[in-house]
């Protein structure tokens, strides 16, 4: 899969903040001129999905780090201390940021966040080290922010269709439903709990917790995609309001021909936007 002008890929094992082992991949450019970039992926999506964009950024001088959250993708082979989405942000993503900073102490740190990845950045204690985040379809998952009739289908999903099979099977069988990678029980049930609450970020007792959103003072380019039903504009804007100390630049994508949806930005349909977004990420 390596291409001469796309940088070199190297598999690695990195440590989360609590010592959990995570599978990762480092994409190294031929000339390290740009920032170091961490890709914080969506829920139930393996790091390999982001490989093409990582190679694209590496070809432009960036060191790029992708990784799988605990219990997902290649990280499933490791024994982990457990934990759901909150641990993914507070421990896993924070550990990936630590690793990136150690790789290139003098290089500026950037993040490409997809969907839940943009939420988890707000939970990482070291997010103040990030100077720019390209946020693609990053949203608050509160079902009330969706238009009807989608909101009612989501209410049913968060209250029954996800928690019941998860409780019975001990994991959420997302792959059988063509919704991505199977989810560990703790992550699936925490996701459902967050999406049922208007406060969204809540603990096991339903109490809201603030996260570390105020620590982030960098720039965010927040992409909304017109045909992405999974991240409607009100839900994206609700998450951006949590980053109240950031400089936020909205960017609306309205595809004329090809469908982009929630995942197409990282496929061929999204390539027309990569150059501009990469330039912003590098220069921000």
pLDDT per residue as tens digits for the range 9-51: 999 999 999 999 999 999 999 877 789 999 999 999 999 999 9
Gap between the Cα atoms of 124 and 90, Å rounded: 5
For residue 28, is the peptide bond before it cis, meaning its omega torsion is within 30 degrees of 0?
no
Q: To 10 degrees, what angle do helices 274-283 and 51-58 make?
A: 60
Q: Which pTM value belongs to this model?
A: 0.95
pLDDT tens digits along 192-212: 999 999 999 999 999 999 999
Task: Name residues whose C-beta falls within 8 Å of residue 143's C-beta, 6 or more positions apart in sequence.
Answer: 151, 154, 155, 158, 195, 196
Question: Would you state the structure tokens that stand for residue 84, as one six-digit string?
Answer: 């759901």
For residue 77, the model assigns a pLDDT of 93
Q: Report whether 242 contacts 120 (CB < 8 A).
A: no
Between the alpha carbon of residue 22 and those of residues 17, 98, 113, 120, 167, the distances in Å are: 11, 13, 18, 16, 25
Closest to 131 (Cα-Cα) out of 154, 166, 107: 107
For residue 178, the model assigns a pLDDT of 82
pLDDT tens digits along 97-154: 999 999 999 999 999 999 999 999 999 999 999 999 999 999 999 999 999 999 999 9
Between the alpha carbon of residue 119 and those of residues 3, 154, 192, the distances in Å are: 32, 19, 15
User: For the chain, how far is it from start to end, CA to CA, in angstroms?
Assistant: 30
Q: What is the SS3 assignment for 248?
A: strand
Gap between the Cα atoms of 142 and 146, Å rounded: 8
Gap between the Cα atoms of 68 and 271, Å rounded: 23
Q: Is 248 exposed, middle or buried, given 0-12, 13-18 or 19+ CB atoms closer than 10 A? A: middle
Closest to 162 (Cα-Cα) out of 193, 133, 137: 193
């Amino acid at each position: 899969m390596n291409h001469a002008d796309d940088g070199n890929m190297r598999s690695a094992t990195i440590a989360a903040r609590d010592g959990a082992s995570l599978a990762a991949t480092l994409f190294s450019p031929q000339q390290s001129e740009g920032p170091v970039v961490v890709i914080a992926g969506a829920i139930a999506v393996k790091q390999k999905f982001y490989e093409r964009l990582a190679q694209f950024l590496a070809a432009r001088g960036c060191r790029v780090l992708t990784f799988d959250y605990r219990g997902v993708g290649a990280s499933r082979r490791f024994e982990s201390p457990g934990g759901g989405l909150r641990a993914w942000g507070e421990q896993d993503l924070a550990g990936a940021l630590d690793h990136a900073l150690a790789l290139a102490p003098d290089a500026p740190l950037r993040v490409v966040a997809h969907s839940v990845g943009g939420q988890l950045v707000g939970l990482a204690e070291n997010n103040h080290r990030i100077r720019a985040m390209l946020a693609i379809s990053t949203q608050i998952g509160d079902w009330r922010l969706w238009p009807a009739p989608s909101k009612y289908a989501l209410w049913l999903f968060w209250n029954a269709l996800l928690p019941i099979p998860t409780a019975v099977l001990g994991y959420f069988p997302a792959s059988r439903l063509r919704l991505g990678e199977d989810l560990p029980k703790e992550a699936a049930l925490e996701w459902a709990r967050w999406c049922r609450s208007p406060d969204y970020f809540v603990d096991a007792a339903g109490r809201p917790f603030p996260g570390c959103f105020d620590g982030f003072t960098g720039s965010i380019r927040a992409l909304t995609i017109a045909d992405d039903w999974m991240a409607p504009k009100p839900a994206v804007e609700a998450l951006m309001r949590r980053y109240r100390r950031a400089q936020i630049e909205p960017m609306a994508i309205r595809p004329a021909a090809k469908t982009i949806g929630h995942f197409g930005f990282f496929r061929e349909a999204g390539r027309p936007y990569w150059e501009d977004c990469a330039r912003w990420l590098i220069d921000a």
